[in-house]
Amino acid sequence: MSLGGWIKDTIWPSARVTPAELEQERAQRAARLAAYLAAVPALAGRPIDEVSEALTFAEDLLAAEEDRKKSVDGRLGSITGLASIATAITFGFFATVFEKGIVPSPWGNFVAIALVVYSVFQLLCAAIASVRGLGRRTYSGAEPLTGIPKPGETHEALLIRRIESAFRCLDNNDKENNEKV
């Protein structure tokens, strides 16, 4: 990392993701979903209780991802609140310091002002990032007709279709939660 990059990252930390890393993540996600969906046809012809267990497992994974979403949202909401409180406290502290003249030299005042600006800026950035993370996302859920058998569809085929739907929802919701963090 260059000195300029280090200074920038120290002042304004950011996650650097290259286009190659993004593409690699997309490829891994697509491969994982393909592996999930490729395993589903193997359930055809299995005893119905095994197919039902597989559906329960897929739905449990989806519920765990929903719990993860709630946890991420809770943490982002906490960051928003705490950052605004910390900004107010920081601003109040430095206003008190300047009012009482605790910093006697001009250089001391310059450093104090720089610290105030930096602190408030960092807290503001944290609040903005958490609000951005809390923004709308396109989460997936089961389609209403996923649980209704199609004409001529067996119970086994219905369960397999529901498993495939759960895996697709799991993949999308995992992606959305990862983008928040």
pLDDT digits 0-9 by tens, 45-95 = 999 999 999 999 999 999 999 999 899 888 888 888 888 788 788 778 777
**What would you measure as the largest C-alpha separation in the chain, in angstroms?**
86
Report how far residue 149's alpha carbon sits from residue 158's, in angstroms, rounded to the nearest whole number: 6
| pTM > 0.85 | no
- Phi-psi category of 14—alpha, beta or left, where left has phi over 0 and alpha has psi -120 to 50? beta
Which residues have a Cβ under 8 Å from the Cβ of 60 and sit 6 or more positions away? none
